[in-house]
Amino acid sequence: MDIAAANSMTYEEFMDVFGNIVEKCPLITAAVWSKRPFDNFLDLENSVFEFIDSLSTSGKQGVLRCHPDLAGRELMSGTLTTESKREQHQSGLTSLRPEERQKLNQLNACYKEKFGFPFVICAKLNDKARILQELSERFENSPQEELQNGIEEVKKICHLRLQDLCSPGMPTKL
């Protein structure tokens, strides 16, 4: 797909294609359609990032709360979004040993109890060992630090999802 194709879409077509570049936040995609025409896909991506950055603290927390736990209830119940399922699979989270899943679930529960939002990390850029390490380390951060860390991971996830949709129109470097 090239940017001209994206620019020519109705908002319904645009949402059908790009509606989940931020997990379960079609509102963001729908808002960004107002900013077309886009010069290129990085311009589209920047419009998404600007929208996220413009949200209040509770709005940013809301974006994080729209994300599933890693190897959590949505994975177990088969209700993950297509994108999230693929990402969790690629990082090895769909084939954890029982003791690994139990440890991840315990750490996730502690993280959510402390911060009031889930641990968000770009699964595609991390394997399961790294994810467990990051979860342990980031748990020690302040709420403000983790809100910012989580939002930065949301942006990485968005970048890779856009890249999947628009390749080769996007640079691979993050």
86 touches a copy of itself (CB under 8 A): no
Could you give the CA distance from residue 145 to residue 18 in angstroms, rounded to a whole number? 29
How many binding residues for a copy of itself (CB under 8 A)? 32
112 touches a copy of itself (CB under 8 A): yes
Among 42, 66, 110, 125, binds a copy of itself (CB under 8 A): 66
Among 17, 20, 46, 61, binds a copy of itself (CB under 8 A): 61
Closer residue to a copy of itself (CB): 95 or 148: 148
In Å, what is the CA distance from 63 to each residue of 44, 147, 151? 18, 10, 8
Could you give the CA distance from residue 141 to residue 94 in angstroms, rounded to a whole number? 27
Catalytic residue check, 89: no
Closer residue to a copy of itself (CB): 28 or 126: 28
Return the structure tokens found at 156: 């990485």
- The neighbour count for residue 134, using CB atoms within 10 Å, is 15
34 touches a copy of itself (CB under 8 A): yes
Task: From the candidates 45, 51, 60, 67, give the one annotated as an active-site residue.
Answer: 67
SS3 content of the chain, % helix, strand, coil (to 5): 70, 0, 30
* CA 21 to chain CA centroid, nearest Å: 7
Q: SS3 for 143?
A: helix
110 touches a copy of itself (CB under 8 A): no
| CB burial of residue 2 (10 Å; 0-12, 13-18, 19+) | exposed
Q: In angstroms, what is the minimal distance from the CB of 172 to a copy of itself?
A: 29
Among 11, 129, 130, 171, binds a copy of itself (CB under 8 A): 11
77 touches a copy of itself (CB under 8 A): no
Closer residue to a copy of itself (CB): 112 or 156: 112
Q: In angstroms, what is the minimal distance from the CB of 27 to a copy of itself?
A: 5
Task: Report phi then psi at 14, rounded to 5.
Answer: -60, -40
Residues taking part in catalysis: 67
